[in-house]
Amino acid sequence: MEDTTGLRLRRCVALSGMSLNEIARVTGLQKNTVKRAMNGHMEGYLDTWVRLARAVGFSIDEITGLTDGE
């Protein structure tokens, strides 16, 4: 299976234990925007990805696949 940014974000969200509503509230993003990002249907601005990464407790490098977190 391809390791996409959306898939990595879904994994991080699952590990965080946060709901879509919680992530939307914390980031200030619309719930639909969070869902699109998690499903790989959004390119988005860097600021959006940084907010998502911070909300779930991971770095932007981990979300984008630039590092494996180790």
Q: What is the pLDDT of residues 10-22, one digit of tens each?
A: 999 999 999 999 9
Residue 53 DSSP SS3: helix
Map out the domains of the chain as residue ranges: 5-64
Q: Is residue 8 a contact partner of residue 65, using CB atoms and an 8 Å limit?
A: yes
Place of tokens 């969200």: 13
Which tens digits make up the pLDDT trace of 1-46? 456 899 999 999 999 999 999 999 999 999 999 999 999 888 878 9
Question: What pLDDT was estimated at residue 40?
Answer: 87
pLDDT-based confidence at residue 69 (cuts at 50, 70, 90): low
Fold of 5-64: 434 Repressor (Amino-terminal Domain) (1.10.260)
Please check the confidence at residue 67 and state whether its pLDDT lies above 90. Answer: no
Question: What pLDDT was estimated at residue 3?
Answer: 65
Return d(Cα 63, Cα 65) in angstroms, integer. Answer: 6
